[in-house]
Structures are given as structure tokens and as C-alpha cells.
Amino acid sequence: MEPVIETRNVCRYFGEDETRVAALDHVSVQIERGEFTAVIGPSGSGKTTLLHLIGGLDNPSSGEVFLSGTNIAEMSGTELSDFRRDHIGFIFQAYNLIPVLSAEENIEYIMLLQGVPANKRHERVREMLNLVGLEGLGDRRPAHLSGGQQQRVAVARAMASNPDIILADEPTANLDSATGVALLDIMRQLNEELEMTFVFSTHAQKIMDRARRLVYLEDGKVERDESK
């Protein structure tokens, strides 16, 4: 089976000449469909940089990044933006919800850009709200939701368009411990029941405990890659 994500000898440098730093140094990783993987390591190890390259938010200095068989490292501009919209879901620690839109509208937004018919969008939004435990709260704007509820909206938004992979950068960092654990359990359940593919960038122990695979980065290199 073709991997959902494959990086081949990916390097990412910042700065030039004597100030050049290798954030990633010849990293090769494969992520299969249905995985629940955490990329971990100390601050500055390159885990967020790797997530950004996998998600097409940044381009490698060298190497290749394949998403569902397509080399996104060769894409740029509108082509990359459209491909990212249609194939990747993102969950950020800052939630990144649109404040003037309701929870339902935030979840619906990507599907609206994709041109999904209104009746299918609304049906999918209701389904997502139920899956993340936010029934009856769809008309609330982010300011009227707790942090945990906002992050659940972000999870629902990431999943709504059935992306090939969901990338989560420290998704529980701004949540209290109990709320963070509850959210992770929801994502693990969705992974098991719907076979959604999740990749986390984190140093949080509660995410490491729930991941089925741990990719350890140190100084921009893969030090260990362990499946539980």
C-alpha cells in the first residue's frame, strides 16, 4: 500500500554561510494510512519544521515530500494551496478559528471553498459536531466557547472534508490536563473507528502515551522510530 506521507532525504536550512542551521538533516519517514503517530523531541529538534513540510506550509531546501503519491515539494502558489486544502487537515495549538463565524460556519468553511453543495455541507457539519461532542453548540462563535470546545471545533473542521491526513501541532498545549486528555481520547477514537490518519508534533507525555508510533528527532535527524 502506498504511504500517505513519504519524505525522502529532506533537508531544511535556515540562514546562510556561517550562520546556516540545519533544522532538518536528510530526514526520510513514511506514514501509512490509519496511523496515530507522534513526532517528538526537544525544542529545536525540527519536529514543527517537519510537520510544516509534510503539510506544504514550507518547502524543503532539498529532498522530496510525497502526499498520496504527489510530490508537493515541487508545488507552489495556487496549486499547492488547493492541494493542501483538499488533502490535509490542520489542528494548531492556537485553534485558529475565524472569530466572526459560528462553530458550524468554521467547520463548513473548507467545504465551502471546495464547492461542496449546501445540503451535503450541512449534513457533514452536524455529523462532525456530534462526533466531537458539541451537539447544540453549533451556533456559538469562538468567544462563547471554552478553550476545549474551540479545539474540538478545530478538530471537526480538520476532519470535515475527509482529508488524507490530519496534522496536529501541540494541539493540547493551551488546554488544562483533563480537557487535553479528553480531546486526545476523541481523536484516538476517531482514528480507530474511521481510520483517520493523525500525525502530531509534540513534547506532551499524554500524546506520547496514546500514540501508536513515536518518531524521535534530535538536531534535525531521526534518532529512533518506534511502533508500540
Cα 149 from chain centroid (whole Å): 18
pLDDT digits (tens, 9 = 90+) for 24-51: 999 999 999 999 999 999 988 999 999 9
Residue 64 parent element (H or E): strand 62-67
pLDDT above 90 (res 94): no
For residue range 120-177, list pLDDT tens digits in order. 999 999 999 998 989 999 999 999 999 999 999 999 999 998 899 999 999 988 888 8
pLDDT at 207: 93
Q: Would you give the end-to-end CA distance of the chain in angstroms?
A: 21
List beta partners, residue 11.
62
CA separation for the pair 23, 47 (Å, rounded): 9
| Residue 92, pLDDT score | 87
- pLDDT, residue 227, reads 94
pLDDT tens by residue, 63-87: 999 998 999 988 888 999 999 999 9
Residues of the domain holding 24: 5-227
- Print the SS3 string covering 114-165: HCCCHHHHHHHHHHHHHHCCCCCCCCCCHHHCCHHHHHHHHHHHHHCCCCCE
Looking at residue 33, its pLDDT comes to 94
Confidence of residue 215 (pLDDT cuts 50, 70, 90): very high
**Confidence (pLDDT) at 46:** 93
CATH number for the domain including 64?
3.40.50.300
Q: How confident is the model at residue 220, as a pLDDT? A: 95
Distance of CA 126 to the CA centre of its chain: 22
CA atoms of 170 and 32, how far apart (whole Å): 21
**What's the Cα-to-Cα distance from 227 to each of 72, 103, 171, 178, rounded to whole Å?**
26, 36, 21, 26
Residue from 132, 134, 146, 148 nearest 189 by CA? 132
Can you give the pLDDT at residue 95? 87
Q: Which amino acid is at 77?
A: G
Number of domains in the chain: 1
**Predicted pLDDT at 16:** 86
Claim: this prediction has a pTM higher than 0.85: yes
What single-letter amino acid sits at 158? A
| pLDDT per position as a tens digit, 7-18 | 999 999 999 888
**Nine-digit cell at 203?**
513534547
pLDDT value for 93? 84
Give the separation between CA 137 and CA 159, rounded to whole angstroms: 18
Q: Determine the pLDDT at residue 76.
A: 83
For residue 209, what are the contacts with CB-CB under 8 A and spacing of at least 6? none
**Side chain identity at residue 55, one-letter code:** G
pLDDT at 1 over 80: no
